[in-house]
Structure 1
């Protein structure tokens, strides 16, 4: 259970509620022990009347009525405290589940971009839902039934030995065999539970990718193939789950068998002792049968609890793998200061860990507040990597990046990112209203601010045509909108933030040249004192920039203004003439 030690801090946090729950559990079990005692008294009274006729019938009836009322009253009190027990211990398990999910989600937010490239979304979702749910069962039902079982064993077994030591010894003979079986089976359950949880992650990944890419699946007409893959995966899941279920299925039959053997011992050995006069009344035998059957459920739950613990152990191990993951990008303990927007790269090189591709090689440049830098280059030249490094989604492999003259690793990460308005190449919109998607850049923005941002991004007229306007709810990832509309909503989201640094990653590729010029003109008006970096394949997006970098294979091949670059031979001039010719032909 070493992996489950992690949640001991939650037990400590809710220790007083748990302590109350334990006390209530003990009280509930103690009240349940009243019944066997008074059943014996009742049987003894009847036996005494029938055999010895020492009491009159009315006295026996009065004794039986009193015993019945005591049994009913103790059962009612036991039920009440059992209810209170569930309201304490089970509620604590829900608090633990809540805390754990928040902790895992918080860790997910801290982890670097590289982590998400190495791990699948479905697996991440499964660990925060299914795995945490399994751990909750350990912190609630498993704990509750364990306390119940220990309390009953601690009370019932001494009472059995006190009443009839020899009979108690024979009755408890099956228990050591039960312990060995539980140990052997629980080890198998642990291995198979791990496989089940791993499969659930694989299943979540497959379904998440299928739902996200359903438009591609339909466009290629491969529903049948995907359905076949799903059937294969489902059969694999069935086999994995059945493998675990077959082992779990051994628990309860074995428990019942061993309890049944204990009952046989009680009847046989108890009967012999009664005949030999070692036991005074048959009420003792009935009392023992009730004791044994009282232990049936607790003993049976030993197997169930063991299964829960093994599954929780497997799940917590998977959770711990992510919780122990150290973010590649850490936030320095430096005070938050205002960002002015001066950016400088000094001999920066960067290699992606997951692909081992060197995206940048010895890149140096600087951008002052109010300036616009355009980065031009072929696909894979390293353009987007520059933006990722500025936002500190990665740290450079070599060289230095300075923000306002300070190494970027020493700049408060929260302040840095709050000062950046970014529009990624693949515009991502949430399944929410268009207005709220724009407000993502500024949570407290007014309706007027949202409309103004949409106008600057040249998307207001499109939104106004929708039936519900800015209250139109988008599909997942914004699939309700066209590619150009998604890009412009993303631009509006960045503009409404009014940051110190704009990062535009080829975000005008899906709009026409007229709309592009309108957006760039609006951007120029609002970004007089803002640092802007534009990555593009279009000369039209770069020509008005103060500085232009031409990247090729991660290296700066050309740099200068538009006028300077079209006057010299090179990639920029070739691209300019090519796009100019296309525009004229169009």
Structure 2
């Protein structure tokens, strides 16, 4: 319950749902108890007067007695029907308060988790896989909802029913009450253990089903590779093996579940037998009536589900506590990318790195070491280097996905950590190396970069990224819906749409992180030529492993193993027999046959 105490703020928020739910439960239980009393009156009416009815056999008064019996029995029946109707109405109200409360809390909790996820830094996502994040916001929250809804509802029902019914039963006869209740604790404990086994088997099935779903998803996502290597048969055999595992675990669960209802019915039957046995002795003694026995049998059946639910509720609470613990682990993670000053101002675009070093907190890898450079407003700089040299790390620092370990970064003379993060990023256009497009229209994917972008701004951004002509050739043009992760487009088209998305917001700082790696040299040159105009008046950082992308930049720095080994202009670096010239000659030689 320590972990579940986190939810108390929501229970307090929806306290009126809980209070009215409690009130409606008490009323519905009263309407549930009253029919038992009516049954007792009806049976006692018949048993007490049947001999009198027989005495007047053949006499006219017998018919009068019969009519009187019938009227009384009809009244009792109508009262029972009325109680059932009223109980149904109030049970509906119970669900409209407590179950609705659980759904409202589920909604709030999912929003809280999702918003918290979005506030966390990039390092959090490097440490945790997507499947785990999704599982905590879906499966774990669903288990918590079961605690907030059915568990609380049935728990309240059990407590109020026991509080109302047990004292009333004891007031009639203590011995008969004890006899009728003997099997119920055994039932509760048995259900608790059976439920634990069922839950364990259910979780095993979920794991198996998750593995099966992942396998199928990968098989269909990689269907081209699978067919190219003619592995259909092997894939089918693996699917059959995983399916058999899922089937076996499902059958194990079915065997356990088959014990559930026989166990309940058996112990209910035992309670009924004990009630009849103890009640019959009392009837012989003359201390109880036949109506009391019937009444107690009804009450035993009324108590059966609440007692059964006790084991079920305990199991739900255990699962909910485990799920809430997993949720709390992420909710307690704090965002270390914060701003004390929360500075908001329009940027000019000056960037200064002053002896910057970075060690990734999640891996411990030193990505940058003592890096210093200055980019003036409106100036462009290219960052060249091989894979793992630290190029993308600089992009992450400029957009403040990470904070430096040592040194400082200044934007327009202000420490980058003083800027309000959303304000800083809203004035920065970022084109990532790993392009991600949403399963939406091309228009909306480009408009994603700027919430209030006009149609003409979208078209102009597409022209600047040299993707406009490709888009209008599609049957639905800009309204063409993309498949998962933009699979409808080629690699080069996806990167150019990503560039358009960054350009549409007219950023003061534009960061292109190897954004042209998926386009050929001809397309790259076309985009770079159009970017001469794009780069005017804004600070541009071009990160690439290809020297051809660096030609347009006003200055170039060359990274190697996280350190700056060379810096200058394209011409000055070529005049120096260094790393840049070596890369240039290798890449020009490799591309030359393509141009012939």
Q: TM-score range by the shorter chain?
A: over 0.9
What is the aligned partner in structure 2 of residue 348 from structure 1? 356
Q: Determine which of 161, 164, 168 is the counterpart of 2:170.
A: 161
| Contact in 2 for aligned 1:248/1:307 (Cα 8 Å) | no
Show CA shifts across 1:206-246 (max 9, x none). Answer: 56655655554444444555555555555555666667776
Report the Cα distance in structure 1 between the residues aligned to 2:224 and 2:191, rounded to whole angstroms: 50
- TM-score normalised to the size of structure 2? 0.91
| Contact in 1 for aligned 2:188/2:310 (Cα 8 Å) | no
CA gap of 1:448–1:131, structure 2 versus 1, over 3 A, is same
How far residue 248 of structure 1 moved from its aligned partner, in angstroms, is: 6.2
| Contact in 2 for aligned 1:421/1:503 (Cα 8 Å) | yes
What is the aligned partner in structure 2 of residue 122 from structure 1? 131
What is the aligned partner in structure 2 of residue 533 from structure 1? 541
Whether 1:399 aligns to 2:407 is yes
Moved more, 98-107 or 306-315: 306-315
Report the Cα distance in structure 1 between the residues aligned to 2:70 and 2:43, rounded to whole angstroms: 12
Q: Determine which of 64, 69, 72 is the counterpart of 1:60.
A: 69
Moved more, 485-494 or 176-185: 176-185
Whether 1:150 aligns to 2:156 is no
What is the aligned partner in structure 2 of residue 321 from structure 1? 329
| Contact in 2 for aligned 1:122/1:201 (Cα 8 Å) | no
| Contact in 1 for aligned 2:32/2:84 (Cα 8 Å) | yes
Whether 1:110 aligns to 2:111 is no
**Count of aligned residue pairs for this structure pair:** 585
Report the Cα distance in structure 2 between the residues aligned to 1:58 and 1:220, rounded to whole angstroms: 88
- TM-score normalised to the size of structure 1? 0.93
Secondary structure in structure 1 of the residue aligned to 2:186: helix
| Contact in 1 for aligned 2:356/2:370 (Cα 8 Å) | yes
Moved more, 433-442 or 385-394: 385-394
Show CA shifts across 1:89-117 (max 9, x none). Answer: 21111111111111111121122222222
What is the aligned partner in structure 2 of residue 485 from structure 1? 493
| Contact in 2 for aligned 1:252/1:303 (Cα 8 Å) | no
Secondary structure in structure 2 of the residue aligned to 1:375: strand
What is the aligned partner in structure 2 of residue 96 from structure 1? 105
What is the aligned partner in structure 1 of residue 307 from structure 2? 299
Report the Cα distance in structure 2 between the residues aligned to 1:207 and 1:13, rounded to whole angstroms: 43
Show CA shifts across 1:255-281 (max 9, x none). Answer: 3333222211110011011112121x2
Show CA shifts across 1:120-142 (max 9, x none). Answer: 22222222112211211211122
How far residue 420 of structure 1 moved from its aligned partner, in angstroms, is: 0.9
What is the aligned partner in structure 1 of residue 317 from structure 2? 309
**Aligned 1:108-507 pairs, distance under 5 A:** 108-181=117-190, 213-230=222-239, 252-279=261-288, 281-332=289-340, 334-507=342-515
What is the aligned partner in structure 2 of residue 40 from structure 1? 40
Report the Cα distance in structure 2 between the residues aligned to 1:517 and 1:123, rounded to whole angstroms: 42
How far residue 495 of structure 1 moved from its aligned partner, in angstroms, is: 0.6
Report the Cα distance in structure 2 between the residues aligned to 1:578 and 1:235, rounded to whole angstroms: 54
Report the Cα distance in structure 2 between the residues aligned to 1:460 and 1:488, rounded to whole angstroms: 9
In structure 1, the gaps of 5 or more residues are: none
How far residue 462 of structure 1 moved from its aligned partner, in angstroms, is: 0.5
| Contact in 2 for aligned 1:256/1:296 (Cα 8 Å) | no
Moved more, 294-303 or 493-502: 294-303
What is the aligned partner in structure 1 of residue 60 from structure 2? none
Report the Cα distance in structure 2 between the residues aligned to 1:121 and 1:205, rounded to whole angstroms: 13
Secondary structure in structure 2 of the residue aligned to 1:40: helix
Secondary structure in structure 1 of the residue aligned to 2:515: coil
CA gap of 1:228–1:165, structure 2 versus 1, over 3 A, is same
What is the aligned partner in structure 1 of residue 58 from structure 2? none
| Contact in 2 for aligned 1:534/1:542 (Cα 8 Å) | yes
CA gap of 1:371–1:227, structure 2 versus 1, over 3 A, is farther
| Contact in 2 for aligned 1:186/1:310 (Cα 8 Å) | no
CA RMSD of aligned residues (A): 2.6
CA gap of 1:380–1:59, structure 2 versus 1, over 3 A, is same
What is the aligned partner in structure 2 of residue 575 from structure 1? 583
CA gap of 1:304–1:79, structure 2 versus 1, over 3 A, is same
Report the Cα distance in structure 1 between the residues aligned to 2:257 and 2:347, rounded to whole angstroms: 60
How far residue 548 of structure 1 moved from its aligned partner, in angstroms, is: 0.2
| Contact in 2 for aligned 1:372/1:531 (Cα 8 Å) | yes
CA gap of 1:269–1:182, structure 2 versus 1, over 3 A, is same
Report the Cα distance in structure 2 between the residues aligned to 1:307 and 1:14, rounded to whole angstroms: 24
CA gap of 1:576–1:407, structure 2 versus 1, over 3 A, is same
CA gap of 1:582–1:197, structure 2 versus 1, over 3 A, is closer
